[in-house]
Amino acid sequence: MQHKPKRSRAIALPRAEFRARATEYLDFLAAWVQKPRQTASVVPSSRYLARLMVAQIDPTDGRVLELGGGTGVFTRAILGTGLPPEKLEVVEINPAFARGLRRHFPNVSVLETPAQIVSTAAAGEPGTYQTVVSGLPLLAMDRHVHYDILSESFRMLQPGGSFVQFTYSMRPPVSRDVIDALDLDVERAGQTVRNFPPATVFRFTRRGA
């Protein structure tokens, strides 16, 4: 007696989640077409990458700042840690993305302010943020911009706080010159192939913190 091979069945997503992901993809693709260097990828980051990015967030600790909110993949993961929405601020200079973030996360403050001067618009005081989660395409920026973004981020961070950044390279997206000039340490926090393209997460901290 021959047995028919079993057919694998696709797992259907709930209709609301499917629509949300489809909307995220279309919004992201439109942004990439308009400004490919600013958006850096043709698809949003995966939830697997998002989990790595938010792994060290303590919902009972200080505020969190997200740079480059995009369609909200990292924003959703940050809130998923249990962090109250009033303790999260998201920086997004793309007006279409900013509107989408306000629509999906009405209790989160969305700042259309360059990351280099975020302290001028942030609600929290400098030195009160536990983590900066960055989705910015640093590989598309020069080292002077890297210096300004990291300098401002560490101005906002509390002692022992960290700047978390992903990249599609196996090496940190910031040059050793900038890292040394700001007196920072960097470590590889994780990797995932369940992202397109595969991504590596790096964590930057103050030396001796």
Give the neighbor-by-neighbor strand order of the sheet with 129-134.
Answer: 109-111, 88-91, 63-67, 129-134, 157-167, 199-206, 184-192
> 143: pLDDT confidence band, cut at 50, 70 and 90?
very high
Q: What is the mean pLDDT of residues 116-129?
A: 97
Q: List, for residues 168-193, the tens digit of each pLDDT value.
A: 999 999 999 999 999 999 999 999 99
Domains of the chain by residue range: 45-206
Q: Tell me the residue ranges of DSSP E strands in the chain.
A: 63-67, 88-91, 109-111, 129-134, 157-167, 184-192, 199-206
> 32: pLDDT confidence band, cut at 50, 70 and 90?
very low
Q: What is the pLDDT of residue 14?
A: 58
CATH topology of domain 45-206: Rossmann fold (3.40.50)
